[in-house]
Amino acid sequence: MWNGEPLRRDLVRAGSESRGRWRPAIASLLGLALFCAGPLLAADPAAPSATASDGQSGPLSYESDIRPILKAHCFYCHGEDETIEGGVDLRQVRRMIASHAIDEADPLGSSLLSMVQSGAMPLDGKPLEPHDVDLIRRWLAQGHRTARPEPEELPDFYITEEEQQHWAFQPVEARQPPAGLAEHPVDAFVQERLRTVGIAPAPPADRVTLIRRATLDLLGVPPTPEAVDRFLNDQQPGAWARAIDRLLDDPAYGPRWGRHWLDVVGYADSNGGLRDSPREHAWHYRDYVIDSYNSDKPFNEFLLEQIAGDELVGVDQTDAGKPIEDATRWDPLAATGFWAMPPDSSADSGVDAAVVREEALADRVRVVGTALLGMTVQCAQCHDHRFDPISHRDYFRLRALIDPVYNVQAWRKPDQRLIAAYTPEEIASNDVIEQRAIKVDQECEALIAREYAKYLEERMAPIKDERVKEQVRVAWNKSPDKRSEDEQRLLKEHDCDFRPSTHLRSVPGRKEQEAQRVALLEQAESIRATKLSRVFMAATEVPGQVPKTRRHHRGNPADPREEVLPGDLTVIRDRPKLPANDPELPTTGRRLAYARWLTSGKHPLVARVLVNRFWQHHFGAGLVAATDDFGMRTPRPAYGDLLDYLADRFVRDGWSLKEFHRLVMTSHVYQQSATNPAAEAIDAGNRLLARASLRRLEAEAVRDCVLAVSGQLDGALGGRPATVARDPRGGIVLGKELVNASNKVVHTVLPIDDAHRRSVYVQAIRERPLSVLAAFDMPTMTPNCTQRAVTTVAPQSLMMLNDRFVVDESDAAADRLIAEHDGSVPEQVRQLWRLAYGAPPTGPELEDAVVFVEALGRQQASVESERSPERRALSALCQVVFASNRFLYIP
């Protein structure tokens, strides 16, 4: 395994002595840099299944061990529907006996066992796992016990005591840290656990590692040499806490941590579906999120505004088109873009309107479940949840919360949901700007018309009869569908049956005029870009519209059954009754009531889910490994008491995320080294937290770190996204596609002025992700992402070797180093190491790097290029550094 040093002498010499160009050597180094990354992160062990216990420690019971298996695989036909298939009801032991599924005289001869052993059941399904079949066999052999007497009657949906007592459904308790183990509460919980298994925590990480870890964590870019020096030179008590405060006050914090939330809600600048049409105004929601993180807006307020900001400030759909001058209403309106982020292709032509509307609603219910509740609620869309105590009706209770916004009977397409928050003065100013742009459009149209008219005259030059020429002109100026047969024949006869286009590329001799046309298009775009944009993809209701939500039997919208009122999951005790239509509000008030319940601090799931997700972003894995599934398959985590302590403290600290950072990052658990051989031998997945876990940077951070080292990173906050376009080779790059009135691309501008913005500000088109981001596992939002995949695959290595972005930024980094330390290769190497790694190179690293640059420079002296040999050699070194483990991983 590579030790993190980006150079090796044998590879350096191989490159310098090669007969060919330097690329084979750099390719070897890059391949080594990236492919060695895989083993650095031990995969988290899969959470043990909670479908059933193994029963080895005592007698088995139906409720704890057998019912979860049958519920997952058999209830759909044998207990859930009005019709019980074959008359066999598996929901209770006494019902199985009554339907002869269990033979009391010969339990091991029961049809229940023979059916699952033979694979005959589940019908049309995957056979049960051998482990599950063996559990059923042993349970029958033990006398098919129940944990308690079974009720005579069962409701349609039955929650067992075992399900009700699941740890995640219990109120969050104010846990006290174990006494006498550590001063820091987080360390106390962890050290108590480590003591029981005989593991000592890793020693503290060195200070350079700490400041680099914290800066990448909180800002998503490497620390500057000045920031490193400031921390290293601060030897006074509290230096670490002060460093954390500086990072939290940095404006780059919001884009870094706001990106995590944008994943959870499924942020995208396109609508999804086959067309995946752009969303012009989604960025206002993105900016709301980033600003909220930077200002440390209390998370309960943050959630309240997103779920029901419109109801909070008294705005409904009748306000569309009216000036909204009260600036205090803008943020809550922008926040409701939360509901608009999942896909909605209902504006596309040729789609099944009923299907896409139902899909849009289903995606929004799924986001609520995974983002806020940490539950796979979507699994109850067609039937009771197979594993969790979530009923089919529960699913529609949650859907009833948003049916007034997404009313399938009075559907509004995405553009019909927009709310413009302008003052009258701003509207007037935008109108003036638009008139300026229209004049440029007209100038462009006149240019095209003038040139096509000239071209027509050129084509008619062979015609000598002026009367015929005039007839050709008249016919040509008609739209094709208005021409008579004689006119069509006339145009074809004189070779004038060509059609005008929106560009001049196909018109001979018009290169200069085509360039003028493109310049006019860009001018009009630039003028329009100066208009103030404050148009929100808001969630609003139409007063008086109170749609009835009905349960769709087995998920079929064509088979609506009983009405379902809004509410939380049935398994959540002490849940309030939510209004179906609040008489005190012009809207239904459903979302506002639900949002207040979720942010009350009394909900058992919300704070746990949030702090677990925050923890995941600091440590690479949550205390609960499955961040979106706190259900029955997820046993209480090893650090369940710590999770409750953090959730309770988060609420008591005013739902402040920055206070959470301060708490966690000042612990030894956060500050410890990643090296602990004794702990690694026992706990390879590091679930016990006896050492730090190395973590690969997310896609956006990889790109931002490269830009930071090259000196090209544009740290400007907010505004319209940097647009993406397809380059001539088919890759997705930063560029501007200019379109005509039919939305057809007529010209692509490469590059664009804002090509170096932070990656969170890059246009997020679902089906066209920026190539450099897609290579490093940027998710496609279908509809959201609560936990990113981390892969190590060949295309990443190829990207770092060949991608135009990486090559260009390596050149830019070389230019920066030459400008700062011209003529001194050792100083250039030292500066590169400090910019990329936060520390100067060791002696061997410096020696190898200098040998590499100088040898490659000599080799390149004989190669003709506009770039100097020194610059090319230094650029190659920068490219290797960008591909190294040490650069791509948070230490």
Say if residues 120 and 354 touch (Cβ distance below 8 Å). no
pLDDT band at 33 (very low <50, low <70, confident <90, very high): very low
Say what the pLDDT of residue 8 is.
Answer: 37
Per DSSP, 707 falls in state H
Query: What tokens does 889 get?
Result: 């991983």
Specify if 190 maps to a domain: yes
Q: Which of 290, 271, 302 is nearest to 761 (CA)?
A: 290
Say what the pLDDT of residue 93 is.
Answer: 96
Q: Which of 571, 572, 575, 553 is nearest to 562 (CA)?
A: 553
Instruction: Give the domain-ending residue among 501, 531, 561.
Output: 531
Sign of CA dihedral 204, 208, 209, 210: positive
Say what the pLDDT of residue 124 is.
Answer: 76
User: Do 415 and 302 share a structural domain?
Assistant: yes
Say if residues 169 and 604 touch (Cβ distance below 8 Å). yes
Percentage with pLDDT > 90 across the chain: 83
Q: How far is CA 374 from the centre of its chain?
A: 16
Amino acid found at 841? P
Average pLDDT over residues 824-835: 98
Query: What tokens does 436 get?
Result: 């300026």
Per DSSP, 63 falls in state I
Looking up tokens 């015609």, which residue turns up? 463
Q: Is 890 helix (H, G, I), strand (E, B) or coil?
A: strand
Say if residues 788 and 820 touch (Cβ distance below 8 Å). no
Please say if the pLDDT value at position 243 is more than 80: yes
User: Do 439 and 410 share a structural domain?
Assistant: no
Question: Quick one: three-class SS letters along 624-693?
Answer: CCCCCCCCCCCCCCCCHHHHHHHHHHHHHCCCCHHHHHHHHHCCHHHHECCCCHHHHHHCCCCCCCCCCC
The domain total for the chain is: 6
DSSP for 110-155? -HHHHHHHHT--STTSPPPPHHHHHHHHHHHHTT---SSPPPSS--
Give the bridge partners for 418, in sequence order.
Answer: 537
CA–CA separation, 735 and 628 (whole Å): 35
pLDDT band at 742 (very low <50, low <70, confident <90, very high): low
Amino acid found at 882? F
Please say if the pLDDT value at position 12 is more than 60: no
Instruction: Give the domain-ending residue among 531, 548, 580.
Output: 531
Sign of CA dihedral 616, 621, 626, 631: negative
CA–CA separation, 124 and 87 (whole Å): 18
Say if residues 338 and 265 touch (Cβ distance below 8 Å). yes
Give the bridge partners for 278, in sequence order.
Answer: 270
CA–CA separation, 628 and 888 (whole Å): 26
Say if residues 784 and 366 touch (Cβ distance below 8 Å). yes
User: Do 142 and 191 share a structural domain?
Assistant: no
Specify if 626 maps to a domain: yes
Query: What tokens does 202 get?
Result: 């890793």
348 burial via Cβ count (<10 Å: 0-12, 13-18, 19+): middle
Domain with 243, as residue range(s), is: 207-250
User: Do 483 and 411 share a structural domain?
Assistant: no
In residues, how long is the chain? Answer: 891
Instruction: Give the domain-ending residue among 531, 560, 587.
Output: 531
Please say if the pLDDT value at position 34 is more than 60: no
Of residues 654 and 80, more confidently modeled: 654
User: Do 408 and 305 share a structural domain?
Assistant: yes
User: Do 476 and 512 share a structural domain?
Assistant: yes
Specify if 176 maps to a domain: no
Please say if the pLDDT value at position 181 is more than 70: yes
pLDDT band at 43 (very low <50, low <70, confident <90, very high): very low
CA–CA separation, 285 and 764 (whole Å): 13
Sign of CA dihedral 585, 586, 590, 594: negative
User: Do 377 and 469 share a structural domain?
Assistant: no
User: Do 391 and 316 share a structural domain?
Assistant: yes
Query: What tokens does 504 get?
Result: 């001049």
Specify if 818 maps to a domain: yes
Q: Minimum mean pLDDT among 116-130, 274-288, 331-345, 440-454: which range? A: 116-130
Q: Is 76 helix (H, G, I), strand (E, B) or coil?
A: coil
Q: What beta strand segments (E) does 285-335 contain?
A: none
Q: How far is CA 576 from the centre of its chain?
A: 32
Specify if 48 maps to a domain: no
CA–CA separation, 162 and 169 (whole Å): 11
pLDDT band at 505 (very low <50, low <70, confident <90, very high): confident
Please say if the pLDDT value at position 15 is more than 60: no
Residue pLDDT, tens place only, 75-125: 989 988 777 898 999 999 999 999 999 999 999 999 999 999 999 999 877
Percentage with pLDDT > 70 across the chain: 93
CA–CA separation, 332 and 337 (whole Å): 9
User: Do 196 and 222 share a structural domain?
Assistant: no
Helix (H) or strand (E) holding 188: helix 185-197
Query: Regarding beta strands 418-420 and 745-749, do their DSSP bridges make them parallel or antiparallel, or are they unpaired?
Result: unpaired
Query: What tokens does 588 get?
Result: 């239904």
User: Do 494 and 391 share a structural domain?
Assistant: no
Helix (H) or strand (E) holding 418: strand 418-420
DSSP for 724-755? EEE-TTS-EEE-EEEE-TTS-EEEEE-S-TTT
Q: Report the predicted TM-score, pTM, of the whole model to 2 decimal places.
A: 0.87
User: Do 31 and 67 share a structural domain?
Assistant: no
CA–CA separation, 594 and 576 (whole Å): 9
Cis upstream peptide for 122 (omega within 30°)? yes
User: Do 337 and 388 share a structural domain?
Assistant: yes
Please say if the pLDDT value at position 567 is more than 60: yes
Helix (H) or strand (E) holding 695: strand 695-696
- What sections of 803-868 are H helices per DSSP? 804-820, 825-837, 843-860
User: From residue 338, how far is each of 159, 410, 567, 758 by CA, in Å?
Assistant: 32, 21, 19, 22
Please say if the pLDDT value at position 4 is more than 50: no
Say what the pLDDT of residue 56 is.
Answer: 55
Average pLDDT over residues 470-498: 93
* Average pLDDT of the residues of the chain: 91
pLDDT band at 1 (very low <50, low <70, confident <90, very high): very low
Specify if 165 maps to a domain: no
Q: Minimum mean pLDDT among 3-17, 301-315, 446-460, 755-769: which range? A: 3-17
Please say if the pLDDT value at position 273 is more than 60: yes
pLDDT band at 44 (very low <50, low <70, confident <90, very high): very low
Neighbours of 321 (CB within 10 A): 9
Query: What tokens does 740 get?
Result: 């005509």
Say what the pLDDT of residue 28 is.
Answer: 43
Residue pLDDT, tens place only, 743-799: 777 778 888 889 999 999 999 999 999 999 999 999 999 999 999 999 999 999 999
pLDDT band at 42 (very low <50, low <70, confident <90, very high): very low
Specify if 675 maps to a domain: yes
Q: Which of 628, 166, 632 is nearest to 369 (CA)?
A: 628
Per DSSP, 417 falls in state G
Backbone angles phi, psi at 175, to 5 degrees: -70, 145
Please say if the pLDDT value at position 165 is more than 60: yes
Say if residues 312 and 331 touch (Cβ distance below 8 Å). no
Contact residues for 537 (Cβ-Cβ < 8 A; gap 6+): 279, 281, 282, 284, 285, 337, 340, 414, 417, 418
Specify if 170 maps to a domain: no
Sign of CA dihedral 565, 416, 347, 270: negative
